[in-house]
């Protein structure tokens, strides 16, 4: 499941958001900007009504959110004109405080559609719950009871079986090449008879029992 951090100063607005969203996410309501852990953020509600609020958000964005590609920012404001200053941050939605329930309903529809088309998967690595963009994953390696997910931004260790994780991803861009490996076909650099060289310079073995499947999917000709 995805952690949701809701930054809403007004208690009434926070309560409405909590009740109205109801999309099976554990939700955390706070107005303390220092409590942000960028690894935990998927949905990010932030109220911006004036220059002071905007400065606080810009600082937070530069320190945390800028490094979190999968965070979805939803702005709430009493001033409709603030949207012109906030568009540069590419928010998922802009909610008018005066039309809170109406705009939340519209945002909920946008959010659901976004999740349907999002090429992401939720993982638990250590104590962090992360929304991982599959397009950034080079390959997945199985080590005992754990998986090491190798991505453009680093490695994540999770406790899960490779076959279960592949089924959970339900993504056409991954192919299993070995009992212990699955690769993102978009990162293939060169194909060899016994291994695949990725653009990350990693050599991924092709297992004997998976060779035919790899050939069919990648159209490899020995």
pLDDT of residue 150: 95
Tell me the per-residue pLDDT of 153-185, one tens digit each, with 9 for 90 and over: 889 999 999 999 988 887 778 889 999 999 998
Residue 40 CA to residue 67 CA, distance in Å, equals: 12
Task: Provide the pairing of β-strand 181-184 with 137-143.
Answer: antiparallel
pLDDT of residue 195: 92
Work out the pLDDT band at 214, boundaries 50, 70, 90: confident
Residue 77 CA to residue 27 CA, distance in Å, equals: 20
Q: Is the pLDDT of residue 6 over 70?
A: no
Q: Domains in the chain, start-ordered, CATH in brackets?
A: 4-117 (3.40.50.2300), 133-218 (2.40.50.1020)
Residue 30 CA to residue 33 CA, distance in Å, equals: 8
Taking the model in full, what pTM does it have? 0.49
Pairwise pLDDT comparison (1 vs 126), residue with the higher score: 126
pLDDT of residue 41: 41
Residue 175 CA to residue 181 CA, distance in Å, equals: 9
3-state secondary structure 109-174: HHHHHHHHHCCEEEEEECCEEEEEEHHHEEEEEEECCEEEEEECCEEEEEECCHHHHHHHHCCCCE
pLDDT of residue 25: 40
pLDDT of residue 178: 94
Tell me the per-residue pLDDT of 91-123, one tens digit each, with 9 for 90 and over: 888 888 888 888 888 887 776 666 555 577 888
Tell me the per-residue pLDDT of 39-95, one tens digit each, with 9 for 90 and over: 444 567 778 888 888 887 787 677 665 554 445 778 888 888 888 888 888 788 888
Q: What is the mean pLDDT of residues 23-33?
A: 42
pLDDT of residue 126: 77
pLDDT of residue 32: 47
Work out the pLDDT band at 138, boundaries 50, 70, 90: very high
């Amino acid at each position: 499941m995805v952690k949701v951090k809701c930054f809403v100063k007004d208690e009434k607005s926070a309560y409405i958001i909590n009740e109205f969203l109801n999309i099976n996410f554990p939700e955390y309501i706070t107005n303390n900007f220092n409590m942000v852990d960028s690894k935990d953020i998927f949905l990010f509600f932030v109220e911006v009504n004036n220059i002071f609020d905007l400065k606080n958000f810009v600082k937070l964005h530069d320190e945390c959110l800028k490094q979190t590609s999968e965070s979805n920012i939803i702005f709430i404001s009493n001033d409709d004109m603030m949207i012109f200053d906030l568009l540069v941050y590419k928010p998922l939605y802009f909610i008018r405080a005066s039309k809170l329930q109406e705009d939340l309903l519209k945002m909920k529809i946008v959010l659901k559609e976004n999740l349907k088309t999002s090429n992401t998967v939720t993982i638990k690595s250590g104590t962090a719950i992360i929304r991982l963009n599959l397009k950034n994953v080079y390959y997945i390696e199985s080590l005992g009871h754990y998986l090491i997910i190798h991505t453009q931004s680093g490695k994540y260790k999770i406790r899960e079986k490779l076959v279960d994780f592949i089924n959970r991803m339900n993504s056409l861009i991954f192919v299993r090449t070995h009992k212990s490996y699955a690769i993102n076909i978009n990162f293939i650099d060169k194909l060899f008879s016994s291994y695949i060289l990725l653009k990350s310079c990693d050599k991924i073995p092709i297992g004997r029992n998976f060779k035919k499947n790899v050939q069919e999917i990648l159209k490899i000709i020995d």
